[in-house]
Structure 1
């Protein structure tokens, strides 16, 4: 964890994550100011999800041809250029809203390369026995940035306007790019495959991550868990939460922000605990996974049945604590149970499945709420999480 390569990676990733949060806040505000349409504003998360899915599908072709460092740094550099172009478009008040959507889609598309490259880079520059601690550290950083960014993003955008926030994002992206390119060169096994596979078909390259997950029993079980949790996680999106606060808690709309902050605080607490007691978690990870599986299911069920705003904060925090512990353990297992040369494509495949599943589930969630009610959609989500305990238990036996 003390290596120069890892230090440059986490500093660069931190600036990129901070820029990502500010960018989304500014983009939504800019679109609303330009169109006055709430519908077009809500298209932003769907468009970003679809772009990331498309990028994750084609990412294996690029992962076969470039080093992880080069792919990560180049992706960030292109995002920086696009961000400054987006800043100029908003600054000049260009009336073609489709240009803003196009630039946003391209930026999200580049993330489909960056995310698997960044995740796969960690095991290559960190000792195997430090992976749990490293993932806990990275999660702590990410949650801290998310919490601070979402809390401050609205205030910053209100003070310096969307144009100022986009300019700040561009500067953050530029700093991130410099750090990514400064990561010391190291040997990457998977790059050797470029010459070996120059006659392979695109179809074979695109399917490699899917095949690896299917053949690897541990990865297959982890993917089942992640897929079920992705669908169940739709109940925590803004639209559903807003309805829950209004219809179930009968509270004012700022309580959505409080509940979301409690959730992020839970993620942060879990990450700090993991960082401090990483050796204990590494030794007892199989038992902790089962406990956290039950914890997320029970917290979701209790949240849906609850009608007290203060209790909703506590349950949201508890869900975040259980969910983050489970996520870090599963992340570490993916890194340790996958060959280094195949890890980037496994991450790309996981990203594609998650983006597609979440996008479809998000689109259907509004209809489901109208059919069964906002309380029952949380009950359905808790049932799915209870079902996910089955592959968790099978994974525990496999470990």
Structure 2
């Protein structure tokens, strides 16, 4: 745990995640300030989801490319965007194009980040490393949006982009300093995943509850939260950062509760899923009709807490029914289906907000959430 490789590992992960958060914060605010259009914000969110998905599926082809090369290309793109925006009003298409490329590179770099664990030869250290990085990721997500909101108050979106470039340059130096492994790992290609989607389509239909859950998740996406804070609460970007940070606080609390009371939660998992679904449904209804900032922050905290615990319990109940030999293939195919569904749902959500307002989106999510309650409790979806 005291090796230089390990220190590179956690420092690189820390800076890379902050870079992604700051970039998303800057891009979302820039796009909305330029257009004041929920539809355009939905398009940029669609490109973010698809870009990350493409990066994750392309890693089987491009995995041999050095992480330093990928980071170098990403840094150049960020520098071009900052330079272009400094001298003239950057076009919306250019922002969309750069965002897609940056998120593709993020998806590719994520695989290189995972392979760094192979540098830790001792098994205990490797397990300790994984646990440490799990806590680190939560801490970064918790603090990243808060810090981004604070930075926005001081240096605006363009300044955050410059900070993002600086962090990306530091990550580039780190990746150049880390030796490359000749050994690679097998990663499923896009075609493999699509074949899996077709192969296990009957299972996806049987577990259509995941479709409903994916649609409900749309209201927790950063860009939709931005529209909620801006249009419903009439607050600025600082409070958007606070809302995101509060949401991740709920996830962190759920993580600790699950570790401490894991056996109790598993013993009463179906009853707990019913309770969490009910609470989330009520919270979504209150978010659709409430405008008090303090109450909204509390509701987001409760929603993220219950949603995280519910997802963990549903996942545990789901994998109990699956043949362990087929579990990886099923999860890959299901993840592909849900990612595509989420990307499409974001576009539909953007259109709804553009035409009818963000309040309707939370009402729709509330209805879908109430539908899941009898399915979980009385149905045979996870029993």
TM over 0.5: yes
Distance change >3 Å, CA 153–CA 365, structure 1 → 2:
same
CA distance, structure 1, for counterparts of residue 350 and residue 268 of structure 2: 31
CA distance, structure 1, for counterparts of residue 17 and residue 174 of structure 2: 13
Look up the SS of the partner of 1:65 in the other structure: helix
> How far did residue 54 of structure 1 move?
5.9
Equivalence for 1:65: 61
Equivalence for 1:388: 372
> How far did residue 277 of structure 1 move?
2.7
Contact kept in structure 1, 2:276 and 2:310, CA below 8 Å: yes
> How far did residue 318 of structure 1 move?
0.7
Equivalence for 2:345: 357
Say whether 1:367 aligns with 2:360: no
Paired residue for 2:47, among 34, 45, 50? 50
CA distance, structure 1, for counterparts of residue 134 and residue 285 of structure 2: 26
Say whether 1:210 aligns with 2:197: yes
Q: Deviations over 1:307-331 (max 9, x none)?
A: 6554333222110101122345567
Contact kept in structure 1, 2:31 and 2:92, CA below 8 Å: yes
Distance change >3 Å, CA 95–CA 367, structure 1 → 2:
closer
CA distance, structure 2, for counterparts of residue 2 and residue 293 of structure 1: 43
Q: Deviations over 1:43-81 (max 9, x none)?
A: 355224235326636854x244354x8687765443233
Equivalence for 2:18: 18
Q: TM-score under structure 2 normalisation?
A: 0.70
Look up the SS of the partner of 2:61 in the other structure: coil
Q: Deviations over 1:166-212 (max 9, x none)?
A: 23212323444566684874966635x89xxxxxxx8x446134235
CA distance, structure 1, for counterparts of residue 118 and residue 329 of structure 2: 10
CA distance, structure 2, for counterparts of residue 58 and residue 363 of structure 1: 27
Distance change >3 Å, CA 63–CA 175, structure 1 → 2:
same
> How far did residue 228 of structure 1 move?
1.7
Equivalence for 1:198: none
> How far did residue 283 of structure 1 move?
4.7
CA distance, structure 2, for counterparts of residue 220 and residue 177 of structure 1: 44
Contact kept in structure 2, 1:120 and 1:340, CA below 8 Å: no
Q: TM-score under structure 1 normalisation?
A: 0.68
CA RMSD of aligned residues (A): 5.0
Distance change >3 Å, CA 168–CA 380, structure 1 → 2:
closer
CA distance, structure 2, for counterparts of residue 227 and residue 46 of structure 1: 21
Distance change >3 Å, CA 386–CA 11, structure 1 → 2:
farther
Look up the SS of the partner of 1:37 in the other structure: helix
CA distance, structure 2, for counterparts of residue 50 and residue 351 of structure 1: 12
Contact kept in structure 1, 2:45 and 2:346, CA below 8 Å: no
Paired residue for 1:293, among 260, 277, 296? 277
Distance change >3 Å, CA 369–CA 139, structure 1 → 2:
farther
> How far did residue 19 of structure 1 move?
0.9
Distance change >3 Å, CA 344–CA 82, structure 1 → 2:
farther
- Which structure 2 residues correspond to residues 242-261 of structure 1 after superposition, within 5 A? 242-245=230-233, 259-261=243-245
- Which structure 2 residues correspond to residues 115-194 of structure 1 after superposition, within 5 A? 117=111, 140-160=135-155, 162-176=157-171, 182=178, 185=181, 190=186
Structure 2 stretches lacking a partner, 5+ long:
121-126
Q: Deviations over 1:186-243 (max 9, x none)?
A: 966635x89xxxxxxx8x446134235526x4x7666x34432332244452224444
Between 286-295 and 145-154, the greater mean CA deviation after superposition: 286-295
